[in-house]
Amino acid sequence: MHITQLNRECLLHLFSFLDKNSRRSLAKTCHKLLEVFQDPILWSFLSFNSPSELQKRNFLLGAALKHLSICWYSERVKVCNIEDWMKNNLQKDFCNRHENTVTDFLLEVGNRCPNLLSLTLSGCGHVTDDCLLLLLKKCPSLKTLKLENCVRITDRTLEAVTLYGGSLQTLHVDFCRNITQAGLERVKEKCPSVTLRADRSANMIPDSKPEKKLVLEKSSRKLIQL
């Protein structure tokens, strides 16, 4: 029996075992398989492991998407976690390309995936407060938000959670160095039903420009002298 002789239910089941690249390759062989590839039921969960994956045309974004995970840890993207003022021109150019890719993708998610239930972002050094504000507004059913080592996330995201995270049940902000204890306390106060975890975040050294660090060092010296 040829694969195209299988009914739609069988083909959907077959596609469900394939990764994104394999699904796309199979869909290119004939119109019937392309229609199966485009069925929203296949795209309720998406997982990405590098910024370049976000630009591929091997997946669909739509109202069927319920769970999204973007996690990367490669050596190449570690530069994205360096403070902006410390980057050289080559690093800034590299990071700008990543930032545009991630921002554009998350904007598409916000506009096309209103039924999103869970979002995990790990190692995403270019995710901004503005992106998460948009997602919280556009995805009112979001129940789980997990952020890990997202260095640009600040208390603005926590404030957005208190304003727009009405359905949120779980919030993780682990190793996000620009989150403060005051911001965490505000979430606990405003959203007592949310399960909050912030491993190390409020205890890490936040980003600051050289002049700010110099002022802090001088202040420390004066305290020691006193």
Q: What letter represents residue 23's amino acid?
A: R
Of 61-75, 120-134, 208-222, the range with the lowest mean pLDDT is: 208-222
Domain 44-224 has CATH 3.80.10: yes
How many angstroms separate the CA atoms of 56 and 150, rounded? 23
Q: Are 139 and 164 in contact (CB under 8 A)?
A: no
Average pLDDT over residues 155-164: 97
In a 13 Å sphere around the CA of 99, the CA atoms on its Cβ side amount to 16
How many angstroms separate the CA atoms of 196 and 216, rounded? 30
Ramachandran angles phi, psi of 135, nearest 5°: -65, -40
pLDDT tens-digit map of 101-156 = 888 999 999 999 999 999 999 988 888 999 999 999 999 999 999 999 888 899 99
Where residue 75 falls among pLDDT bands split at 50, 70, 90? low
Give the CA radius of gyration of the chain.
Answer: 21
Return the domain boundaries, the chain: 1-42, 44-224
Burial of 113 (0-12, 13-18, 19+ CB in 10 A): buried
Virtual CA dihedral for 73, 74, 77, 81, nearest 10 degrees? 40
Query: E strand or H helix at 171, and its extent?
Result: strand 170-174
- In a 3-state reduction of DSSP, which class is residue 75? helix
Residues 6+ apart with CB under 8 A from 187: 158, 161, 162, 171, 194, 196
pLDDT of 212 above 70: no
Q: What is the mean pLDDT of the chain?
A: 86
| 1-42 fold | Monooxygenase (1.20.1280)
